[in-house]
Amino acid sequence: MAFIMPAGLKLAELPKPASPAVTLRPVPGFKTAVLRFSGWSSEKTVRARTRQLEAALERDGLRPAAPVAAFYNPPFTPPFIRRNEVMIEIQ
């Protein structure tokens, strides 16, 4: 699991984790292509959306890296307002 903090903040300005199992580290900037979708985020749906995004990137001549799925809502959120994303770093 990862949390991305807004650009411009320094590591020392971020809240201190309550658990020693959580670590903060800077990550160099990168660009991603993102496909947003609603509904349930089943493994089958994530695979299909990943293929859809990869095809768009290849069509546009971009080299995709490994995909990452992101889910933003608690389980009780109705499917039609759930926010999910497939993100692929591009070279």
Q: What is the pLDDT of residue 62?
A: 94
Q: What is the pLDDT of residue 55?
A: 96
Q: Judge whether residue 10 has pLDDT over 90.
A: no
Q: What is the pLDDT of residue 36?
A: 97
Integer CA distances (angstroms), 16 to 9, 12, 24, in order: 14, 9, 9
* Rounded Cα gap, residues 44 and 86, in angstroms: 13
Backbone angles phi, psi at 44, to 5 degrees: -65, -45
Once rounded to an integer, what is the mean pLDDT over residues 10-38? 91
Angle at 43 between CA 39 and CA 44, to 5 degrees: 80
